[in-house]
């Protein structure tokens, strides 16, 4: 059955992940470099997250973050950034640059359906970051509000704008 195949894949993944955690030198033997990260993120975002979490202790981690910043906007890239942000204390400027890149990428998409899809994804991503207190909203409030206003016909943008306003009113009172 398919479930047996799926559980076999999950078992293999869990075994690989455990090997990575057990053997520090295993990271050096991986055929991974910053230039191959986009392909890994695209093909297997969960493995990309696990490897990035391990790489966080290395000198090369900043190079991998730079690659994440410059990757094309995708569901998988946002998923990876969301998960590593939830598990590591990343430099605030990385998170702010990533958010700005997401907003810029959405603005540059010419196909309306694709643009709406990505605006929704970015709004959900930003909402999760804000609710989990993983980003200091005040540093990029104006950009996010402008993004929400530009896309106010999209429900998720309106919801994000309301969340920002509720945070704003809580800080004032």
**Per-residue pLDDT at 146 exceeds 50:** yes
The rounded distance, in Å, linking the Cα atoms of 109 and 8 is 39
pLDDT tier, 144 (very low <50, low <70, confident <90, very high otherwise): very high
Helix H, strand E, coil C: the string for 130-166 is HHCCCCCHHHCHHHHHHHHHHCCCCHHHHHHHHHHHH
| Orientation of helix 112-131 relative to helix 155-172, angle to 10° | 30
Does residue 74 sit in helix, strand or coil?
coil
The rounded distance, in Å, linking the Cα atoms of 33 and 45 is 15
Q: Pick from 9, 54, 57: which is nearest to 32 by CA?
A: 54
Tens of pLDDT, residue by residue over 131-142, are 988 888 888 999
Tens of pLDDT, residue by residue over 102-115, are 999 999 999 999 99
Q: Pick from 42, 39, 98: which is nearest to 65 by CA?
A: 98
């Amino acid at each position: 059955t398919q479930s047996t195949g799926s559980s076999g894949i999950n078992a293999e993944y869990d075994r690989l992940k455990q090997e990575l955690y057990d053997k520090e030198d295993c990271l050096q033997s991986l055929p991974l470099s910053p230039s191959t990260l986009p392909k890994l993120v695209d093909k297997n975002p969960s493995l990309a997250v696990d490897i990035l979490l391990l790489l966080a202790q290395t000198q090369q981690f900043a190079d991998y973050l730079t690659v994440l910043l410059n990757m094309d906007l995708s569901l998988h890239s946002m998923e990876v950034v969301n998960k590593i942000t939830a598990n590591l204390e990343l430099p605030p400027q990385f998170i702010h640059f990533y958010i700005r890149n997401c907003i810029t990428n959405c603005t540059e998409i010419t196909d309306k359906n694709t643009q709406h899809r990505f605006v929704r994804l970015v709004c959900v991503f930003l909402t999760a970051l804000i609710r989990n207190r993983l980003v200091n909203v005040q540093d990029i409030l104006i950009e996010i509000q402008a993004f929400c206003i530009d896309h106010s016909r999209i429900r998720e943008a309106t919801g994000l704008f309301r969340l920002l306003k509720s945070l704003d009113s809580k800080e004032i009172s």
